[in-house]
Amino acid sequence: MLPEFVLAWITSSSENNPSLTNGGHVVFVKHPTRGWEIPGGHLEPGESPEQALLREVLEETGLNVAIIEWNKEYYPKGWVASVVTTEKPHEESWQVTDSKVDEIRWWDSVPPVITWTKQEFIDLDNWYTSQ
């Protein structure tokens, strides 16, 4: 069964161990009302989860990524992909033209959350490190 939505846990291929718990970095996007979250969105009609994820990541971050593995268990209606980009983590934030994204940034810890929970990001980081 296909998911309703897909999300991306984006790390850099330039880091040896990109887990947040081991000094690594993850890309988060800042939504105008929901605050910091990981990129993603809903599948469009006829779109595969892979196509939706790559489209959403490009729209929300401007990054090209490669899918490593899917976590199809964490969210009942959604899948989370572990993905990598060749971009190196840096301290500067950046913007895209997507009106649902105020800012994009590499984080080395869980960012301040509004809608999401800190535990969700800790769980996803733990899943990532156990792959």
Per-residue pLDDT reduced to its tens digit, 76-126: 999 999 999 999 999 999 999 999 999 999 999 999 999 999 999 999 999
In the numeric block, the tokens 């979250």 are attached to: 37
Mean per-residue pLDDT, 49-77 = 97
Q: Is the pTM of this model over 0.85?
A: yes
Give me 34's structure tokens.
Answer: 């929901």
Task: Give the pLDDT of residue 62.
Answer: 98
pLDDT band with cut points at 50, 70 and 90 for residue 60: very high
Give the rounded percent of residues in the chain with a pLDDT score beyond 70: 100
In this predicted structure, the answer to whether residue 131 has a pLDDT above a threshold of 80 is: no
Q: What pLDDT was estimated at residue 17?
A: 80
3-class SS string, 58-106: HHHHCCCCEEEEEEEEEECCEEEEEEEECCCCCCCCECCCCCCCCEEEE
Average pLDDT, integer, range 24-39: 97
Determine the distance from the C-alpha atom of residue 36 to the mean position of all C-alpha atoms in its chain, rounded to a whole number.
Answer: 10
Reported as half-sphere exposure (CB side, CA atoms, 13 A), residue 21 has a value of 10
Helix (H, G, I), strand (E, B) or coil at 125: helix
Q: Which domains does the chain have, with CATH numbers?
A: 5-129 (3.90.79.10)
pLDDT at 6 over 90: yes
The pLDDT of residue 22 is 86
| For residues 3-7, average pLDDT | 98
Q: What confidence tier does 21 reach under pLDDT thresholds 50, 70, 90? A: confident
26: β partners: 107
Distance CA 46, CA 63 (A): 23
- Sheet with 26-31: strands ordered across: 35-37, 26-31, 103-107
